[in-house]
């Protein structure tokens, strides 16, 4: 029953409606910069920009970084590069006006890996927009299993070996199953704020609960600000693409 609501390929699903509101906020960030706006998407896909780029109010030059090359020939102003979100050494400091990342930082590995990605995002861009699912939300967005992230690791591996859960097919091999489970490390609002000091931590709401978090920084952003809990916004990197061949659809 939850899968249709979480299917971001369906335009009227809950996931798609939330993503459209998120992109409206991102468009407001783009308006702060002169054309062409240079965007780096860390962990994204060409299909995402095929849907979203045509509605942007300004001309944008988009670079999509991922573990594998993407087919972007049909998309104007979109370039695919292969790289590691934790070590984006091919880009100079402040090479981009905006760094965008959607549901990627939870896939890059350990807390140290997440810190490395966050530092690189802040190094290569003048502003950033980094979204990630909220660890405190009761329904885990990849396995679509209530309170999955709070279960013991052994229990999660046991379930993943035996059942198709959410967007992931079951993995019988115990070593691969464990690797796929631990590869997803969700973040709390406090952890995301710690990775991006000075950012506005926007809480995307589903009723009274925070479904997703977005770290947003614009030029001149000052100290840490956390959006009110009742604010609803109007607008993978390493690991995520390695797992993507086993995902039925990418999570929100």
pLDDT on residue 247: 40
* Residue 30 near residue 57 (C-beta atoms within 8 A): yes
What's the alpha-carbon Rg for the chain, to the nearest Å? 17
CA distance 61 to 126: 15
Per-residue pLDDT of the chain (252 residues; tens, 9 = 90+): 446 555 555 555 555 666 678 888 899 999 999 999 999 999 998 888 888 877 787 899 999 999 998 887 667 788 999 999 999 999 999 999 999 999 999 999 999 999 999 999 999 999 999 999 999 999 999 999 999 999 999 999 999 999 999 999 999 999 999 999 999 999 999 999 999 999 999 999 999 999 999 999 987 653 333 333 333 332 333 444 444 433 443 444
CA distance 227 to 235: 14
pLDDT on residue 13: 56
Q: Please give the structure tokens belonging to residue 43.
A: 């962990």
CA distance 21 to 53: 15
H runs (alpha helix) in 149-252: 153-162, 174-182, 189-195, 237-244
Sequence spans of domains, the chain: 12-136+185-236
Long-range Cβ contact pairs of 239-244 (< 8 A, separation 24 or more): 239/107, 239/108, 239/109, 239/183, 240/43, 240/67, 240/103, 240/104, 240/107, 240/108, 241/43, 241/66, 241/67, 241/68, 242/67, 242/183, 243/107, 243/168, 243/180, 243/183
pLDDT on residue 159: 98
pLDDT on residue 244: 40
Half-sphere exposure of 175 (CA within 13 A, CB side): 0
pLDDT on residue 218: 83
pLDDT on residue 94: 96
Nearest to 187 by CA among 199, 179, 195: 195
pLDDT on residue 243: 42
pLDDT on residue 16: 63
Q: Please give the structure tokens belonging to residue 20.
A: 């459209």
Q: What is the pTM of this model?
A: 0.81
Helices (H) and strands (E) in the chain, counts: 8, 8
pLDDT on residue 2: 47
Tell me how crowded residue 147 is: count the other CB atoms within 10 A of its CB.
10
CATH class of 12-136+185-236: alpha beta
């Amino acid at each position: 029953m939850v899968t249709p609501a979480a299917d971001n390929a369906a335009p009227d699903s809950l996931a798609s409606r939330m993503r459209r509101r998120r992109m409206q906020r991102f468009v407001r960030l783009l308006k702060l910069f002169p054309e062409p706006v240079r965007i780096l998407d860390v962990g994204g896909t060409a299909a995402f920009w095929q849907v979203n780029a045509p509605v942007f109010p300004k001309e944008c030059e988009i670079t999509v970084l991922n573990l594998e090359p993407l087919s972007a020939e049909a998309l104007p102003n979109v370039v695919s590069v292969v790289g590691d979100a934790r070590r984006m050494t091919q880009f100079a400091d402040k090479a981009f006006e905006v760094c965008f990342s959607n549901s990627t930082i939870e896939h890059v590995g350990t807390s140290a890996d997440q810190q490395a990605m966050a530092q690189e995002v802040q190094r290569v861009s003048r502003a950033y927009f980094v979204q990630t699912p909220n660890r405190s939300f009761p329904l885990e967005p990849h396995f679509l299993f209530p309170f999955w992230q709070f279960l013991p690791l052994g229990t999660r591996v046991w379930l993943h070996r035996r059942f198709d859960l959410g967007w992931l097919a079951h993995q019988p091999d115990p070593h691969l199953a464990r690797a796929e489970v631990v590869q997803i490390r969700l973040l709390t609002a406090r952890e995301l704020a710690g990775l991006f000091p000075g950012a506005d931590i926007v809480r995307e709401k589903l009723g009274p609960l925070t479904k997703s978090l977005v770290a947003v920084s614009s030029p001149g952003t000052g100290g840490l600000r956390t959006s009110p809990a009742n604010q609803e916004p109007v607008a993978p990197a390493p690991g995520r693409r390695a797992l993507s061949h086993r995902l039925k659809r990418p999570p929100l």
